[in-house]
Structure 1
């Protein structure tokens, strides 16, 4: 296939994407992906915290993301839930790095852990903060509710830039990816599926430069921006292909990008 290849036949495209999703949604995927970080844990809350912090810094080179997530976990004694519940400001004195990951710095990490500590003292799981209401078909409102609650104590802190706002038309790629990890349930062993009160039919594919470019080559989307409107445009097509598990196509689009198949 070449760069100009498009798939005007919806059935052909659906079959093609199903084949690629099945190929790349495999346990071997974990080895080189940031999802390996939460996979080191078995306790639900450990998985959530490791997953959330890893997803938060998931931009740039995957190897760097993994290395920087490991810095955070090492500082937390590889017991994120226990660390968060018992967090004290003086614990920051033992984080011996000037930076965490690119523009996410020590001050951001401090604020994130402090907020997670508050949230876990009020909730047994982060799932409670992402619930989708009955009349909602995606996470547009849910993500804003989470963001508001997360920054409840300071809505203008510098860290707000690290939690995307769907109300500002962000694609919220990292949060959507985190939701895929927590919500999707299958037998492939990559996603966790530990959140049982959120239906995976409401998930979207995490949209960034790479998945956006591949989707345009496949004629899945027409919009040039990688924003929330484009997420919804992609939803319209992918939910016709699989209305019960549209986010599985993230594996297909990501895998096609990595393999440079189109």
Structure 2
């Protein structure tokens, strides 16, 4: 077992190495970085995280294609499109995410932005306002996202929930992007109601592998409890910002092939 102080020092060094603007260009976070308007950043980031499945280069290309289909103004497109504008989206597909899913996402986001100024409010439930807790926030978000009548049943698979024991990698990554604000230029920190201390580490295959190698995960499977276990172990190194170590674990796994 690696000494705890040595491991913290090693991971802190790797965070420093990867948490800087040079990280952006090869990562799906480059999609929301193309925008400056808050709502555009949220929408571009949301789609980029949901489509973050497969090779990073392919993900980035497909996200750019989707942004172009929305005239590179996703908020304006979602808020004010005509039905005829949606026809161009019928050809969009990435893995199992198809036109049916795209059209429902746009319809739900349109409803949301007609009532709220920010997508952050979709993660805030009345019961979670005073003491933010991520598990209940993600369960609330999924229920909220599919509250329109006649939503397509197939689309539910694209929004994970801890209620199904999912590690919710994509949503946790999106929330990291929106809520972390360390002035390093990668994460945006434009959401103020979700404390960084409440974020859960996105547990993808690379992070999972490195975390197990370093003794930060002991559970055999990868599920919501695994993501919580990893985050709780990272909180020992930084209780206020445990998810900054996502940069270290992901960088070690993907970039350094540790």
With the shorter chain as reference, the TM-score category is over 0.9
Displacement of 1:260 in angstroms is: 3.6
Unaligned ranges ≥5, structure 1: 1-5
Alignment root-mean-square deviation, CA: 1.4
When normalised by structure 1's length, the TM-score is 0.93
What is the distance in 2 between the residues matched to 1:259 and 1:200?
25
Q: Tell me which residue corresponds to 1:134.
A: 130
Assess if the C-alpha contact under 8 Å between 2:89 and 2:102 holds in 1.
Answer: no
Q: Tell me which residue corresponds to 2:195.
A: 199
2:38 corresponds to 1:44: yes
What is the distance in 1 between the residues matched to 2:177 and 2:223?
21
Secondary structure of 2:93's match? strand
Q: Tell me which residue corresponds to 1:143.
A: 138
Secondary structure of 2:202's match? coil
Residue deviations 1:182-232 (CA, integer Å, cap 9, x gap): 000012100000001221111121001111111000000101211100011
Q: Tell me which residue corresponds to 1:236.
A: 232
Assess if the C-alpha contact under 8 Å between 2:104 and 2:151 holds in 1.
Answer: no
Q: Which runs of 4+ in 1 moved over 4 A?
A: none
Displacement of 1:259 in angstroms is: 3.1
What is the distance in 2 between the residues matched to 1:261 and 1:67?
23
Secondary structure of 1:190's match? coil
What is the distance in 2 between the residues matched to 1:261 and 1:20?
13
2:36 corresponds to 1:77: no
Assess if the C-alpha contact under 8 Å between 1:87 and 1:114 holds in 2.
Answer: no
Flag the structure with more relative contact order, 1 or 2, with Cα contacts below 8 A and sequence separation at least 6. 1
Q: How many residues were matched structurally?
A: 254
Q: Tell me which residue corresponds to 1:112.
A: 105
Q: Tell me which residue corresponds to 1:170.
A: 166
